[in-house]
Amino acid sequence: MSEADRKKWEGRYSPDALVMGAGPPATLLAWEDSLPRSGRALDVAAGEGQAAVWLAERGLEVDAVDISPRGLGKARGLAEARGLGARVRTWERDLDDGLPAALAPAYDLVTCLHFWPGVELGRALVARLAPGGLFVLAALSAAAWEGRSGGPSPRFLTTAADARAVAAHLTILGCDEAAGAAGRELWLVARRPE
Ligand SMILES: C[S@@+](CC[C@H](N)C(=O)[O-])C[C@H]1O[C@@H](n2cnc3c(N)ncnc32)[C@H](O)[C@@H]1O
């Protein structure tokens, strides 16, 4: 399935322009005041790097992981165009195989935006948080598609219960499963206790 996903995203990212929007995802902007401005960030399913580059602009050293070489190439291009090439490191990786072994042991911020990692990988992400580190998740909400046909594949959808299960050992600062303009986005923000 990951190979099909890689091909799909390689195709989607083929235009030179950013296809996922120019700025960082709305969940990050909404929590801007809580995000660290120094230290290390891990952005998984980083796509074209809008979030990673924005975080680097704010002072973080960012590791951006994605399955799509084209997306990551755009992320590097974006970082370099803003003079941030040294602060954004890209990792081509199929997350179905887990996180790259050579990542840093701990991060001040872990973001997973517009991608549901599943509970197991989600917990592995949370386990990378340094004490006091922040976790930001945004994914498609299963609640929005309940009882409706023609929606996304169920493996891309999640529930507040599963998102909370990922963050079970964290302090949950907020969670909404009917967010976004169409009420179809779930987000969760949580902090690892000091
Ligand atoms: C909806 S996009 C979100 C991109 C970015 N986080 C954003 O918010 O713009 C989903 C991303 O997940 C990546 N992806 C899908 N399956 C993956 C996998 N198995 N391993 C790593 N990345 C994957 C895709 O390449 C794509 O960049």
Per-residue pLDDT of the chain (194 residues; tens, 9 = 90+): 689 999 999 999 999 999 999 889 999 999 999 999 999 999 999 999 999 999 999 999 999 999 999 999 999 999 999 999 999 999 999 999 999 999 999 999 999 999 999 999 999 999 999 999 999 999 999 988 887 777 788 888 999 999 999 999 999 999 999 988 888 999 999 999 99
Distance (Å, whole) CA 54 – CA 37: 11
At 154 the pLDDT is 84
Q: If residue 172 lies in a helix (H) or strand (E), which one and from where to where?
A: strand 171-179
Pocket test for ligand 1, best of 3, 9, 10 (most atoms within 8 A of CB): 9
Please state, in angstroms and rounded to a whole number, the distance separating the CA atoms of residues 179 and 24. 16
- Is the CB of 9 within 6 Å of ligand 1? yes
Cα of 28 to ligand 1 centre, how many Å? Answer: 16
Determine if ligand 1 sits within 6 Å of the CB of residue 135. no
Q: Which domains does the chain have, with CATH numbers?
A: 2-191 (3.40.50.150)
Place of tokens 């517009």: 114
Task: Report the pLDDT value the prediction gives residue 181, as an integer from 0 to 100.
Answer: 80
Query: 5: Cβ below 6 Å to ligand 1?
Result: yes
Give residue 152's Cα distance to chain centre: 18
pTM reported for the whole predicted model: 0.97
Chain CA centroid to CA 134, Å: 12
- CA of 1 from ligand 1 middle (Å) equals 13
Cβ distance 44 to 65 under 8 Å? yes
Q: By the 8 A CB rule, do 61 and 41 touch?
A: yes
- Kindly state if the Cβ of 117 falls inside 6 Å of ligand 1: no
Residue-wise pLDDT tens digits, 52-86: 999 999 999 999 999 999 999 999 999 999 999 99
- Residue that is written with structure tokens 């050992």 in the block: 169
94 lines ligand 1 (CB under 6 A): yes
- Residues near 34 by beta carbon (within 8 Å), at least 6 away in sequence: 134, 173, 189
Task: Give which of 22, 45, 16 is closest to 122, Cα–Cα.
Answer: 45
